[in-house]
Amino acid sequence: MKFSNTYIKLGEQFFQRTLPEKVTSPTLLLWNKALANNLLIPENVQDNHILLSQYCSGNQLPHGAESIALAYSGHQFGHFNPQLGDGRAHLIGEVIDKDNARRDIQLKGSGQTGFSRRGDGKCALAPALREYIMSEALFALGVPTSRCLSVAATGEMINRGLTKAGAVVTRVAASHIRVGTFQYFAARGDMTSLQALVDYSIKRHFPEIDADKTGSNIPLSSDQRILAFLASVIGNQITLVVEWLRIGFIHGVMNTDNTAICGETLDFGPCAMLGEYNENKVFSSIDEYGRYAFGSQGKIAQWNMARLADCLIPLLIEVSDKKLTKEEQEQQALTKVEALIHQYTDKFDVAYFTMYGKKLGIKDTALNNKSLISDLLTLMQTQNLDYTQTFLQLTQSLTDDVKAQELQSKLGDWYQTWLVVLRQEELEHESHPQNKYQQAQDLMRKNNPVVIPRNHHIEAILEFCENAIANDLTCMKNSTKEVITDTVEGFLRVLRSPYQEIEATNKYQELPKDGDRYYQTFCGT
């Protein structure tokens, strides 16, 4: 692997140099071969599990890797902390994948850093497995996400109220630059570093901003460039959250330090999947007031973007017309960023209703069908209908009379109104397939999964793996390692085919008996 680290070139104020803590008996439990191939990791390295266990536990750094902990701030549940940073993660470098994209390689759970704030810097096995499973599930579902290359057991016990087996996750992301990274320098009034971060982020994630598309050779002005950056990050967040809503994903901790500007899902602590539809649903044990409920995620993303805008205002003031008074410069900068933040609502609504239109087989923009969509969601919440199963049954009902009758009994007049909308679309497009709803059904099949990583299945897998390792902490027995690997990979084999049923799909489609009524997720720290 050819490692580099362009982020280090930004300067020592962006990170702390620190090494992962060595562990006693590392064992490679999970290895993501498809991702490894995409990262161009040589086969001779992939076949050497002893060497990989050293790399993936942090005991040994690959040639060319440099280990750092990133600095950032963050609003956590609305409260600002000026210094957070990587307290249990080590960024060891960047690689270029086979698509010529730059990817961060980070170890998580790899020990204390200068940002640990009295934490142990470790990760338990269950949260490590959760991140691996959930990130792979989201990737297969078509949701922008960071991914996991590996999970290595450390052979250690760590204290999480109860003693738990330790593990290290190797995480791969487009980058780990967060809204909180900008907040870190804005809070310190370090405009030089803040501008360098904007420049770096544009070059890495939004090179089109500096590309001359017109051939005029006239670059954007400094303020236009900053605003284009903000608009691009906003667009990424809208896309991400709408995709979360499409599949019923609840992030659980949408703090600004967990909001990646590249628009990938980052951090899978108290995340969960929506079962029975309820826009106010919260599973996170630490989200006491429902700030990050399922239906609030769009508004919270806007709030997070407003916090990014706050950071950019001083930069806009610096490049403003010096003929203006200080107050006029501040007002002008505020007006410019407020315009983008206010535009978020309309842009989000378009993306939101278009997404639900596709889930209902409506090809054209669904803005004319807002009431149809809203009425369905109201019916689902009133009747405690399962989110995934309802949309799957709607998809199937277009060619299954039994399912059509079942849904009509649940949804009443709404069901017939929906069919009328679909039929009208078919006529307007002058399509006359053998099945009059064929085009609608094809669209729905691409947007409505047949299987998701349901909470009770996730917990069953994690409990099984924890029990398997409990009496064999060092995982020296091949049988222990194999049973964990086979269990997780068997589950992932189904989750990696979320839109088509395979032989084992039906094992993971049943609903929780208690409707997830008492289900809670917890932060792994």
Catalytically active residues are 257
CA atoms of 149 and 132, how far apart (whole Å): 8
Name the CA dihedral angle for 343, 347, 349, 355, rounded to a multiple of 10 degrees: -170
- Rounded Cα distance, 250 and 248, in Å: 7
Q: Which of 495, 294, 498, 275 is nearest to 387 (CA)?
A: 275
* 3-state secondary structure at position 5: coil
- How would you write 353-404 as a 3-class SS string? HHHHHHHCCCCCCHHHHHHHHHHHHHHHHHCCCEHHHHHHHHHHHCCCHHHH
Note whether 69 and 85 are within 8 A (CB). yes
Q: How many CA atoms lie within 13 A of 215 on its CB side?
A: 0
Cα separation of 138 and 34, whole Å? 15
d(CA 7, CA 424): 53
CA distance 391 to 498: 14
Cα end-to-end span (Å), the chain: 31
CA distance 456 to 275: 10
Cβ neighbourhood burial of 274 (10 Å; 0-12, 13-18, 19+) = buried
The length of the chain is 525
Contact 440, 427 (CB under 8 A): no
Q: List, as one string, the DSSP characters of 55-92.
A: HHHTSSPPTT---EEE---EEETTEEES----SSEEEE
The sign of the dihedral angle between the CA atoms of 187, 297, 522, 266 is negative
The radius of gyration of the chain from alpha carbons, rounded to an integer in Å, stands at: 24
> To which H or E segment does residue 273 belong?
strand 272-273
Contact 172, 103 (CB under 8 A): yes
DSSP-derived secondary structure letter, 215: S
Helix, strand, coil percent content, the chain, rounded in steps of 5: 50, 15, 35
Contact status, residue 240 vs residue 263, Cβ threshold 8 Å = yes
